[in-house]
Structure 1
Amino acid sequence: MKKIFEYLRHNTHLFLLLYALIYIPWFCWLEEKVNINSNFHVIHMALDDYIPFCEFFVIPYYLWFIYMAAGIIFIAFTDGKLCWRLGIFLITGMTVFLFISTVYPNGQLLRPDTFARDNIFVHIVQRLYASDTPTNLFPSIHVYNSLAIYFGLAHSQKLQNKKWIKNAALVLTVCIILSTMFLKQHSVFDVLTAFALAAFMYSVCYGSIAVAFERRRQKRIPAGQI
């Protein structure tokens, strides 16, 4: 037990994982409060009507869960500083999502009533629809968190010479983003708002805002202590 506490003392970024104790209960409460039978604001864009349903995208859609777990675990145990950036990125976005869903109940009516094909992928999608309400949608956490993990992996020093892993992560990220629309889980609006929030948070965690903050921090530290 002493070794565990000592390890955590030197790896305080692991405490970011405790955010799950806030997110999961809050999200579950939202799913109970805002469902297909409750009053909510319908999210829709004209472009949604031009995107066909494609059940095969259920594969990358579910790979999202493995992608999230693998990405977070890898970064958490290989780069503490990067984990803080990833944690701030994820926690900020998910908290914004929770607040929006709380004060602005929203949902969509894009899911098909019938399916043109009958195969195992359609059956999986039907199970998905049965277990996941078409509410609490924007910004899309599937999209936002996928971008967050990709940005984290792209900035990992451990993967500096492993371009194929970064490329694979990029392809998977793109497929996951597309899956949210082709499975009719999200409107294009949800995807665009996720990109907008991710762009801002990228600037905060990795871009110009992060660089400016680091420069100010370095100026405050005496030269001998840097």
Structure 2
Amino acid sequence: MLIASYAVYPTANWLASLREQRFDFITPWDGLIPLVPEFIFVYFSFFPFLVLPYWLVQQPAISLLGKRQVAGTLICGLVFVLFPANLAFDRVIPEVEPYRSIFSAMFFVDKPHNLLPSLHIVYTALTGLAICQAQWPKGRVWLCAAIALWSVAICASTMLVHQHHILDVVTALLLVAVLYGVIRPAPAELKHPA
């Protein structure tokens, strides 16, 4: 997944930045979303969140997660290139540190065109679901609740730091549903008596 992500995302971002025609995937409700700089830490907590399956998801479920993540990356990359988007929010750099430095660095690295569907949300939702599917049967309800809350917080953070819009989140969740429907577990091998 990391190889696909680091190959596809920057390439799609660069190609999208070259396009003259861009699209507005904006709803009337996006203008009501405030900038909450403190949520940048939740936004970046996405990176440690993605490594949790190494400890919490076993084979073959972790391979299935990887296949869904790679497919999601390729689909999002294609959409980013075909439909580069405009960010509805002004890219405001907060005056207060450490937010000033963090937002400045983020804006320098990331062009605001790879928006819909949000790959941040695709990875978060796929990872959270895989963890909960692995841990729920073990009776770890508290862990699943914590993962669900963390996932929702990451999803909210993408909008509260003005990196994504509502439709970016909605289309990402729809893509996750499609990936779950299309990329399914292989039928269990028949066990023959010895």
Give the TM-score band, short-chain normalised.
0.7 to 0.9
Instruction: Quote the Cα distance in structure 1 between the aligned partners of 2:3 and 2:124.
Output: 21
Q: Give me the TM-score of the superposition, normalised by structure 1.
A: 0.74
Change (3 A) 1:143 1:22: closer
2:148 corresponds to which letter in structure 1? L
Q: How does 1:62-77 map to 2 (within 5 A)?
A: 62-71=44-53, 73-75=54-56
Amino acid across the alignment from 2:52: A
**Counterpart residue type for residue 108 of structure 2:** A
Match of 1:151 in 2: 129
Classify the secondary structure of the residue corresponding to 2:192.
helix
How many residues get paired? Answer: 193
Q: 2:153 aligns with which of 175, 182, 186?
A: 175
Structure 1 CA distance for aligned equivalents of residues 135 and 38 of structure 2: 34
CA shift in 2, pair 1:179/1:147, >3 Å? same
SS in 2 for 1:156: helix
Distance 1:176 1:200, change over 3 A: same
Per the TM alignment, residue 155 of structure 1 is displaced from its structure 2 partner at its CA by 1.1
Counterpart of 1:130? 108
- Kindly indicate whether residue 45 of structure 2 is the aligned counterpart of residue 59 of structure 1: no
Answer yes or no: is 1:224 the counterpart of 2:192. Answer: yes
Instruction: Give, in angstroms, the shift of residue 36 of structure 1.
Output: 8.4
Structure 2 match to 1:47:
29
Percent identity between matched residues is 19
Would you say the 8 A contact 2:39–2:161 is kept in 1?
A: yes
Could you say which structure has the larger radius of gyration?
Answer: 1
Structure showing greater relative contact order (alpha-carbon pairs closer than 8 Å, 6 or more residues apart): 2
Find the aligned partners of 1:41 and 1:136 in 2 and give their Cα distance: 11
One-letter amino acid of the structure 2 residue matched with residue 79 of structure 1: Q
Distance 2:129 2:93 in 1: 37
Structural mapping, 1:1-226, within 5 Å: 19-35=1-17, 38-71=20-53, 73-75=54-56, 79-113=58-92, 115=94, 118-157=96-135, 160-204=138-182, 210=184, 217=187, 224=192
What is the distance in 2 between the residues matched to 1:123 and 1:222?
Answer: 57
Q: Which runs of 5+ in 2 are unaligned?
A: none
Cα deviation, residue 158, structure 1: 8.6
Distance 2:161 2:27 in 1: 16
